[in-house]
Amino acid sequence: MTAHRLTSGGLIDRSAPLDFRFDGRNLTGLSGDTLCIGASCQ
């Protein structure tokens, strides 16, 4: 998989990490990101 993330700008708040649980896994994402992206990066 190739990363296509912006290093700055956009709607993702990189100063606000969020812990969440998905499909029995504990994951961390960023505020404004999608669940799919957060789950695929782990």
What pTM was estimated for this model as a whole?
Answer: 0.52
Domain with 24, as residue range(s), is 16-42
The number of distinct structural domains making up the chain is: 1
Beta-sheet strands, E only, within 1-42: 13-22, 25-31
Containing 37, the helix (H) or strand (E) segment is helix 35-40
Query: What does the pLDDT look like over 9-19, one tens digit per residue?
Result: 678 888 888 89
- pLDDT for 10: 75
Other Cβ atoms less than 10 A from the Cβ of 29: the count is 21
- 34 lies in a domain? yes
Q: Which helix (H) or strand (E) holds 24?
A: none
What is the rounded distance in angstroms from the CA atom of residue 24 to the CA atom of residue 31? 20
> Per the structure block, which two tokens stand in for 1?
């998989």
